[in-house]
Amino acid sequence: MTALGWDELDVLFVSGDAYVDHASFGCVLLARWLIAHGFRVGLVPQPRWDRPDDVLVMGRPRLFAGISAGAVDSLLAHYTAFRKKRRDDAYTPGGKAGARPNRACLVYANLVRRAFPGLPLVLGGIEASLRRVSHYDFWSDSLRRPILMDAKADLLVWGMGEHAVLECARRLAAGAERTALAGIPGTAWLDRLDANGEPANLPKNLRNQPGVRLPSHQEILAEPFSLLHLTRQLEEQVHQGVDWAFQPVEGRALVLAPPAPPLTSAEMDALYSLPFTREAHPSYRKPVPAAEMLRTSITSHRGCGGGCSFCSLALHQGRAISSRSQDSIVAEAAALPRLLGRGRRSKEGIAISDVGGPTANMWQGSCALRNKQDKHGREDAESCAGSGTRHGCTRASCCYPDVCKAFLTPQQEHVALLRCVAGLPGIKQVRVASGIRADLARREPHALAAYTGEFTGGQLKLAPEHCAPTVLDLMRKPSLEVFEEFLASFTRQSRQMGREQFVVPYLMSAFPGCTDDDMRALARWLRQRHWQPRQTQCFIPTPGTIATAMFYCGKNEAGEQIYVARSDAERLRQHRILMPQEDRSRAGY
Site residues, ligand SF4 (CB under 6 A) = 304-308, 311, 313, 358-359, 367, 369-370, 393, 395, 398, 404, 406-407, 437
Neighbouring C-beta atoms of residue 4, cutoff 10 Å: 8
Half-sphere exposure of 245 (CA within 13 A, CB side): 24
How many helices and strands (H and E) does the chain possess? 25, 22
Q: Which is nearer to ligand SF4, 252 or 391 (CB)?
A: 391
At its nearest, how many Å lie between ligand SF4 and the CB of residue 310? 7
Closer residue to ligand SF4 (CB): 398 or 460: 398
Distances (CA, A) of 286 to 44, 47, 277, 433: 18, 17, 18, 25
Is the link from the previous residue into 401 a cis peptide, with omega within 30 of 0?
Answer: yes
Nearer to ligand SF4, 45 or 356 (CB): 356
Give the number of other CB atoms < 10 A from CB of residue 201. Answer: 12
For ligand SF4, give the closer residue by CB, 190 or 360.
360
In this structure, is the dihedral angle defined by the CA atoms of residues 436, 439, 440 and 445, taken in order, positive or negative? positive
Nearer to ligand SF4, 11 or 396 (CB): 396
Residue 118 CB partners (closer than 8 Å, separation 6+) = none
- Provide the minimum distance between the beta carbon of 437 and ligand SF4 in the complex, in angstroms, as a whole number: 6
Task: For ligand SF4, give the closer residue by CB, 335 or 393.
Answer: 393
- Least gap, CB of 465 to ligand SF4 (angstroms): 8
Q: How far is the CB of 52 from ligand SF4 (least distance, A)?
A: 38
Hey, which bits of 174-266 come out as E strands?
187-192, 211-213, 244-249, 252-256
Question: Closest by alpha carbon to 156, among 168, 144, 145?
Answer: 168
Question: Minimum Å distance from CB 93 to ligand SF4?
Answer: 28
**Nearest CB to ligand SF4, comparing residues 92 and 397:** 397
| 128 close to 158: Cβ distance less than 8 angstroms | yes
| Helix-, strand-, coil-residue percentages of the chain, each rounded to 5 | 40, 15, 45
CB of 391 to ligand SF4, least distance (A): 7
Q: How far is residue 509's CA from residue 518's CA, in Å, rounded to a whole number? A: 9
CB of 241 to ligand SF4, least distance (A): 11
65 vs 487 by CB, closer to ligand SF4:
487
Give the span between the Cα atoms of 325 and 414, in whole angstroms: 11
Q: Which helix (H) or strand (E) holds 508?
A: strand 502-509
Query: Residues 177, 316, 145, CA angle at the centre, nearest 5°?
Result: 65
Shortest Cβ 463–ligand SF4 spacing (Å): 7
Distance CA 315, CA 313 (A): 5
Least distance (Å) from ligand SF4 to the CB of residue 356? 10
CB 469 → ligand SF4: shortest distance, Å? 18
Question: Minimal CA–CA distance to 165: which of 115, 216, 99, 121?
Answer: 121
Task: Give kind and range of the element (H or E) at residue 12.
Answer: strand 11-15
Nearer to ligand SF4, 39 or 539 (CB): 539
In the complex with ligand SF4, the residue whose CB is nearer, 39 or 455, is: 455
Instruction: Kindly state the smallest distance separating residue 532's Cβ from ligand SF4, in Å.
Output: 23
Closer residue to ligand SF4 in complex, CB, 248/318: 318
- The contacts found for 332-336 with CB under 8 angstroms, 24 or more apart, are 332/272, 332/273, 332/298, 333/298, 333/421, 333/424, 333/427, 334/424, 334/425, 334/426, 336/296, 336/426, 336/427
Residues 6+ apart with CB under 8 A from 408: 365, 366, 367, 368, 371
